[in-house]
Amino acid sequence: MSDWGATHSTSINAGLDQEMPGASFMGGETGECTELCAAVKNGEVSMATIDDSASRIFTQLFKMGVFDRDQSNTTFNNVTSAEHNSMARDLAARSTILLKNNGGLLPIDGTANKLTIAVIGGQAQNPIVHGGGSG
């Protein structure tokens, strides 16, 4: 699966099974012939490659039991649980790092009365502090 927006071509021959998000190159509206469809029609991508890709995707879905439970098949399914929230809080707490200048490794003079650190870039003015995919 591609990272969000990271693919700019039909890359199934290179092992990409899913383009995320959306389907600019490897999918499309029902009845629409996309770049992937055209690549299959002109012989650049074989049906065996399509079958292998679909098999990898569906094998994992079956292993996870996705087809064993009722699905509404929308991105609005609420999968939040108390256990998930607890795990998310625990992981966040354990992954938080407080910057320390142990041994004076950073180019910061810890003895100065006034310390200035510049935070530069778009995230300095409008930070994404949660959500937003890779945010």
> Whole-angstrom Cα distance, residue 120 to residue 108?
17
**How confident is the model at residue 36, as a pLDDT?**
86
> Whole-angstrom Cα distance, residue 91 to residue 132?
18
User: Does the pLDDT at position 88 exceed 60?
Assistant: yes
Q: Where are the domains of the chain?
A: 1-96
- For 90, 97, 118, 131, the CA distances from 86, given in Å and listed in that order, are 6, 19, 35, 17
**How confident is the model at residue 42, as a pLDDT?**
93
> Whole-angstrom Cα distance, residue 117 to residue 114?
10
pLDDT class of 135 with cuts at 50, 70, 90: very low
Average pLDDT over residues 49-67: 91
Q: What is the pTM of this model?
A: 0.51
b/e 81-100 (16+ beta carbons within 10 angstroms → b)? eeeeeeeeeeeeeeeeeeee
Place of tokens 């996705």: 66
- Catalytically active residues are 3
> Whole-angstrom Cα distance, residue 128 to residue 32?
36
pLDDT class of 125 with cuts at 50, 70, 90: confident
